[in-house]
Amino acid sequence: MSTFRQPQIIAHIQKSLNYTVFDSKWIPCSAKFVCLGNFPRGTGVMQIYEVQHGEAQLIKEVEKPKPIKCGTFGATSLQQRHLATGDFDGNLNIWNLEMPEVPVYTAKAHKEIVNSIDGVGGLGIGDGAPEIVTGSRDGTVKVWDPRQKDSPVANMEPMEGETKRDCWTVAFGHAFNDQDRCVCAGYDNGDIKLFDLRNMSVRWETNIKNGVCCVEFDRKDINMNKLVATSLEGKFHVFDMRTQHPTKGFASVSEKAHKSTIWQVRHLPQNRDIFMTAGGAGNLHLWKYEYPAQRSKKDSDGVDVGVAGSVGLLQNVTLSTQPIASLDWSPDKQGLCVCSSFDQSVRVLIVTKLNVV
């Protein structure tokens, strides 16, 4: 692809913050985004910014007792746009951002820090009930329905006597009708587990030999298509989730991308074959997945086995000297995204030419 036709990643706005920011999210149907983190004094902070005239204007800030690690809008309606967050004390809170002083829902979700959170069934994405999944250092993955108080609707925890592994990342997928839904979880020892919520069983598991920092389906609201998992050593894996072989599982392609940890992966909402990875050296890589000519073939026993495609690098950019820990695409404007890094800053980026790649 010629340089002129390649997408460009442009840092549109950079804002320095006076706290460590762990997560940043676009507020749906708005030019606003929210930043979550912790002040040096050990309390949590939630800030709402609005993009106006090429600048990010702070419009609201609230301090919370505990540092906030992660957030999602995935289980709320477009009218309410409530933000669900997980904090260092294991609490799940849901906030009305118009009045963020007191949560509209709260649950003591875990014994230890909530590392990761995801939502589905809200924003018109995914069929079925609005649900939130949380993954924690205590080794458990829990699914919550905000309409049900206190107890989770599903709890995936290690068996008696099994070692508790730190769960670093969770993601919903396969929510294409009212009955089906899956949760994927990644752990510090390289385990990836796919839980089928309809049958309450582990549908598939594998190990990628390095701590799993982030997992994401290319779409939550379709029959499982692709899953990307990123890891500590700068590698990511793309699994083709359409064909599951009884012994070989799902076909996958892996790519050594960054020289350090890949903290996050996010698929472009408007094109599920384009995704961005965020790295520990302060860089972003934009990728495109190419499907193979045939997505499955018969093995020697006549059983379908998946065929992995390939990934190509569209563009990369270094923005920071510190890890970029969060990234979120705007659901409304193609190519607009927000990312935060451990240099205590948040950046609004514009990625061009995404419609021609």
The Cα–Cα gap between 186 and 193 comes to 7
At 167 the three-state DSSP class reads strand
The Cα–Cα gap between 224 and 217 comes to 8
User: What does each of the 357 residues of the chain score in pLDDT, given as a tens digit?
Assistant: 556 688 999 999 999 999 999 999 999 999 999 999 999 999 999 999 999 999 999 999 999 999 999 999 999 988 899 999 999 999 999 999 999 999 999 999 999 999 999 999 887 888 889 999 999 999 999 999 999 888 999 999 988 888 899 999 999 999 999 899 999 999 999 999 999 999 999 999 999 999 999 999 999 999 999 999 999 989 999 999 999 999 999 999 999 887 889 999 999 999 999 999 999 999 999 999 999 999 999 998 999 999 999 999 999 999 999 999 999 999 999 999 999 999 999 999 999 999 887
The Cα–Cα gap between 314 and 293 comes to 21
Burial zone of 153 (CB within 10 Å; 0-12 exposed, 13-18 middle, 19+ buried): middle
User: Counting every residue, how long is the chain?
Assistant: 357
The residue to which tokens 């924690």 are assigned: 136
- Rg of the chain's alpha carbons, rounded to an integer? 19
The Cα–Cα gap between 35 and 22 comes to 8
Reading the block at residue 171, the tokens are 């993601």
If one counts every other C-beta atom within 10 angstroms of the C-beta of residue 318, the result is: 11
Reported as a single tens digit per residue, the pLDDT across 215-265 is 999 999 999 999 999 999 899 999 999 999 999 999 999 998 878 899 999
Reading the block at residue 134, the tokens are 């949380």
Amino acid in position 99? M
Q: Residue 120: its pLDDT value, please?
A: 95
Sequence-distant (6+) residues with CB within 8 A of 243 are 250, 251, 295, 296, 304, 305, 306
Note the Cα 45 to chain centre separation in Å: 20
The Cα–Cα gap between 49 and 116 comes to 22
SS3 content of the chain, % helix, strand, coil (to 5): 0, 55, 45
Amino acid in position 101? E
- The closest alpha carbon to 118, from 95, 134, 106, 103, belongs to 134
> Strands (DSSP E) along 81-181, which ranges?
83-87, 91-95, 105-108, 114-120, 131-136, 141-144, 154-156, 167-173
- Residue 135 sits at φ, ψ, to 5 deg, of -125, 140
Reading the block at residue 348, the tokens are 């609004």
Domains of the chain by start residue, with CATH: 11-352 (2.130.10.10)
For residue 129, give the DSSP letter.
Answer: S
Kindly report the pTM of this predicted structure. 0.95
The Cα–Cα gap between 328 and 353 comes to 18
Reading the block at residue 179, the tokens are 């009955």
